[in-house]
């Protein structure tokens, strides 16, 4: 039995266990339903077993060796990956300007960081993809145990994960891919190829583009290392089963006909904006990231114009360009409104 079915079952026992709200004492009434499903691992229903069953089912969906549900974001997935495949004193290759969790993971594992730099795509003010040759140069001279890559980048630039994996394999280094922004990739041929079946470890934030609640995420292992032990070192022993159940539901939805169709339609709607707005320039590998530039306006000016005049808030802006993030919850109406605004700029 998975988590969703387990939480729906009524418990007829008189509980003298944690949590003390006993699924009935609603201090915060608006969250009644949440309290009702908030059971603990001591509950007679054995939610741990249900969690393992749900994770096993997810591993079948993603075709991975292990898929673990995370309730502390991709941050915890990156930390657990590094802890799982390195030991104290090992060298780890990582991007100098990566998300802070990469450096923290290396620090927590007692490893030595080796930093690489990426070129900038000057016209857009964003970091370029990670070249496999760059990684190979470091691996050649280093004794490096693990490599961490961010793909897609925040702005939607995708690296050649297959080529990077081949390089890592040649030098016996583990490849960890931060795919925090690519959680929809495994469910559509119209999106870039996911690293899930290529890298040794891949982390994905469900809460960023895949409709999940903050801070739900996934850690996939494609090698023979089960990351459970590493996760146990950093996770609470009192996980939130309602949050974990949303992860199970999230995967069920993305993998359903309805979910796959929704992604397809979303890509079509965004492509329609990109082909329709001839007054703007668009860029990037990820169809779900609307990275835009307008002649004679800086990225900051464009961002301010969208915000002040049209009540539209972007996700990230730099001197050259502005990025609007879309995901499974970005509906047609919102995109139609955006298109109307963009045509006026």
Ligand X SMILES: Cc1ncc(COP(=O)(O)O)c(C=O)c1O
Binding site for ligand X (CB under 6 A): 73-75, 99, 101, 150, 154, 178, 180, 205, 215, 217
- Backbone phi and psi for residue 298, each to the nearest 5 degrees, phi listed first: -75, 165
Cα(90)–Cα(83) distance, integer angstroms: 11
Shortest spacing between CB 266 and ligand X, in angstroms = 20
- Taking the least distance from each CB to ligand X, the nearer of 188 and 205 is 205
Three-state DSSP state, 94? strand
Minimal CA–CA distance to 207: which of 327, 102, 312?
A: 327
Three-state DSSP state, 112? strand
- Taking the least distance from each CB to ligand X, the nearer of 204 and 221 is 204
Bridge partners for 94 per DSSP:
115
Q: What would the DSSP string read from start to end of 141-178?
A: HH-EEEEEEESS-TT-----HHHHHHHHHHTT-EEEEE
Output DSSP code: residue 10: P
- Taking the least distance from each CB to ligand X, the nearer of 157 and 263 is 157
Shortest spacing between CB 247 and ligand X, in angstroms = 12
- Taking the least distance from each CB to ligand X, the nearer of 154 and 253 is 154
Shortest spacing between CB 182 and ligand X, in angstroms = 10
Beta strands at 201-205 and 174-178: parallel, antiparallel or unpaired: parallel
Shortest spacing between CB 58 and ligand X, in angstroms = 17
On the CB side of 330, CA atoms within 13 Å amount to 24
Bridge partners for 174 per DSSP:
146
Shortest spacing between CB 179 and ligand X, in angstroms = 9
Shortest spacing between CB 120 and ligand X, in angstroms = 17
Whether 96 and 116 have beta carbons less than 8 Å apart is answered as yes
Shortest spacing between CB 277 and ligand X, in angstroms = 26
- Taking the least distance from each CB to ligand X, the nearer of 212 and 277 is 212
Shortest spacing between CB 141 and ligand X, in angstroms = 27
**Burial (CB count within 10 angstroms: exposed 0-12, middle 13-18, buried 19+), residue 82:** buried
- Taking the least distance from each CB to ligand X, the nearer of 98 and 188 is 98
- Taking the least distance from each CB to ligand X, the nearer of 99 and 220 is 99
Q: Which two tokens stand for residue 76?
A: 């915890």
Residue number with the smallest Cβ distance to ligand X? 73
Shortest spacing between CB 152 and ligand X, in angstroms = 8
Output DSSP code: residue 199: S
**291-311 core/surface letters (b: 16 or more CB in 10 A; e: else):** bbbbeebbbeebbebbeeeee
- Taking the least distance from each CB to ligand X, the nearer of 214 and 265 is 214
Residue that has been written with the tokens 């930093």 in this structure: 115
- Taking the least distance from each CB to ligand X, the nearer of 64 and 76 is 76
């Amino acid at each position: 039995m998975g988590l969703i079915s387990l939480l729906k079952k009524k418990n007829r026992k008189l509980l003298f266990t944690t949590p003390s709200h006993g699924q009935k004492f609603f201090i915060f009434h608006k969250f009644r339903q949440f309290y009702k499903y908030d059971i603990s691992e001591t509950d007679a229903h054995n939610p741990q077993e249900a969690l393992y069953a749900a994770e096993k089912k997810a591993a079948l969906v993603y075709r991975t060796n292990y898929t673990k549900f995370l309730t502390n974001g991709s941050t915890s997935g990156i930390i657990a990956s590094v802890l799982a495949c390195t030991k104290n004193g090992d060298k780890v290759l990582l991007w100098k300007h990566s998300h802070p969790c990469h450096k923290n993971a290396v620090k927590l594992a007692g490893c030595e960081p080796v930093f690489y730099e990426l070129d900038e795509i000057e016209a857009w003010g964003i970091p370029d993809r990670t070249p496999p040759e760059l990684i190979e140069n470091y691996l050649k001279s280093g004794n490096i145990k693990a490599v961490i890559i961010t793909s897609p980048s925040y702005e939607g630039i995708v690296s050649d994960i297959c080529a990077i994996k081949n390089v890592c394999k040649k030098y016996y280094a583990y490849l960890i891919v931060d795919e925090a922004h690519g959680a929809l990739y495994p469910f559509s041929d119209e999106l870039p190829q996911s690293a899930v079946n290529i890298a040794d470890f891949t982390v994905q934030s469900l809460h960023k583009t895949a409709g999940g609640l903050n801070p739900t995420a996934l850690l996939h292992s494609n090698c023979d290392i089960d990351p459970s032990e590493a996760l146990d070192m950093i996770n609470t022993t009192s996980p939130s089963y309602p949050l974990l159940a949303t992860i199970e539901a999230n995967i069920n939805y993305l993998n359903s006909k309805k979910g796959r169709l929704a992604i397809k339609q979303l890509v079509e709607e965004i492509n329609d904006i990109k082909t329709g707005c001839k007054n703007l320039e668009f860029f990037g590998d990820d169809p779900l990231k609307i990275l835009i530039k307008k002649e004679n306006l800086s990225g900051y000016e464009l961002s301010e114009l969208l915000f002040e005049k049209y009540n539209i808030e972007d996700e990230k802006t730099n001197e050259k360009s502005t990025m609007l993030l879309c995901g499974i919850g970005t509906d047609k109406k919102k995109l139609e409104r955006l298109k109307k605004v963009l045509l006026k700029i």
